Amino acid sequence: MAPRPLSPHLSVYRFAYTMALSILHRITGVALASGLLVLVAWLLALGGGPQAYAAFTGFMGHGLIQVILGAWLLAFLYHLANGIRHLFWDTGRGFAKTAARRSARMVIAFVVVAGALLVYVFFWPAGGVQ
């Protein structure tokens, strides 16, 4: 078969931030899929007894790991909100340029507000649960 041009021709479009949000849904999705490893490791450590669990939480307490956990939290919030946006699109509504941009801003606002709240709850030394 002759090589055919494949859609979408991304390079012919003027950049719009809705495009960045679109690819971010996939990026956060793949990142969250890798987070399944940590979820299962957490459950195994929890079932392994207090000592195994202490070793696990100790490892998770390292600065760089905490940053990754925080990034996962934000990735989850984004994927959740933008996923609901996708489900709404699946009903055939919200595709007009203004509507798509409005829902994009709503997603970003949700991530900022819920992200700030949950980062405070999970990671702030004095305020949170840890």
Partner 1 sequence: MRGSTPLGKVLGYGSAKDGAGHWWVQRVTAVALVPLTIWFVLSLASLPLADHAAVTAWMRQSLHAVPLSVLILTLCWHARLGVQVVLEDYVHHHGIKVTSLLLSTFLHALLASTGVFAVLRIAFAV
User: Which stretches of the chain bind partner 1, using CB under 8 A?
Assistant: 26, 29-30, 32-33, 36-37, 39-40, 43-44, 46-47, 49-50, 53-54, 57, 73, 76, 80, 83-84, 86-87, 90, 118, 121-122, 129-130
- Give me the least distance between CB of 11 and partner 1, in Å please: 17
DSSP label at 93? Answer: -
| CB nearer to partner 1: pick between 43 and 109 | 43
| Alpha carbon separation from 75 to 15, 48, 70 (Å, rounded) | 22, 29, 9
- The single-letter code of the amino acid at 128 is G
* Cβ atoms within 10 Å, residue 38: 15
How far is residue 94's CA from residue 90's CA, in Å, rounded to a whole number? 9
- Give me the least distance between CB of 26 and partner 1, in Å please: 6
| CB nearer to partner 1: pick between 26 and 62 | 26
Tell me the DSSP string of 31-62: HHHHHHHHHHHHHHHHHT-HHHHHHHHHHHTS
DSSP label at 10? Answer: G
- Give me the least distance between CB of 98 and partner 1, in Å please: 25
- Give me the least distance between CB of 120 and partner 1, in Å please: 10
| CB nearer to partner 1: pick between 67 and 117 | 117
